């Protein structure tokens, strides 16, 4: 790493690309996490309501209501298994942390650019921070995926 002379233009391009991708991932995982939470609550409540409604409906509708309850309960099992597999909430948090760190680095680079020219040592330090941000995010991602 010490052999690499970081390039300001390339570093800014890399950061901009990672910000763009990470923002999209964060939004996607946030939406999926929200859906899973709301769906779980809604389906649990609806299943309980349908089961509780059974004594108040006539004969043939009882079978339909029971079948519907079983179907929606099974769909909840599928959605919860999906959540266990992908863990969108943790992925969303990981993206939020990474994005915050990238924004901070980007801001530091912009302030350094505006106040003076950036010497190679400072630029190399910015690049090391970028690599650390990426590495830490990848380590967190691997732990989530385990």
The residue assigned the tokens 């899973």 is: 36
Give the pLDDT confidence score for residue 118 in this predicted structure.
87
- Per-residue pLDDT at 58: 84
| pLDDT recorded at residue 55 | 86
| Spatial distance between the Cα atoms of 32 and 83, rounded to a whole number of angstroms | 9
Q: Is the CA virtual torsion 129, 130, 135, 141 positive or negative?
A: positive
What is the tens place of the pLDDT at every residue in 95-135?
Answer: 999 999 999 999 999 999 988 788 999 999 999 999 999 99
- Convert the pLDDT of each residue in 35-75 to its tens digit: 999 999 999 999 999 999 988 888 888 989 989 999 999 99
Mean pLDDT of 1-8: 79
Give 1's pLDDT tier (boundaries 50, 70, 90): very low
Grade residue 2 by pLDDT with cuts at 50, 70 and 90: low
Distance CA(141)–CA(146), nearest Å, equals 9
Of the given ranges (1-5, 28-32, 60-64), which has the lowest mean pLDDT? Answer: 1-5
């Amino acid at each position: 790493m010490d052999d690499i002379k970081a390039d300001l233009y390339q570093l800014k391009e890399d950061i901009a690309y990672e910000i763009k991708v990470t923002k999209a991932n964060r939004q996607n995982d946030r939406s999926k996490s929200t859906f899973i939470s709301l769906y779980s609550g809604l389906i649990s409540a609806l299943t309980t309501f349908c089961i509780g409604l059974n004594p108040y409906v006539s004969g043939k509708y009882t079978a339909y209501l029971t079948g519907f309850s079983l179907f929606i309960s099974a769909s909840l099992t599928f959605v919860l298994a999906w959540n266990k597999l992908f863990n969108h909430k943790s992925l969303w948090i990981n993206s939020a942390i990474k994005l915050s760190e990238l924004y901070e680095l980007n801001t530091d680079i912009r302030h350094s650019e505006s106040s003076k020219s950036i010497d190679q040592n400072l630029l190399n330090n910015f690049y090391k921070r970028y690599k650390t941000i990426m590495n830490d995010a990848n380590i967190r991602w691997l732990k989530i995926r385990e």
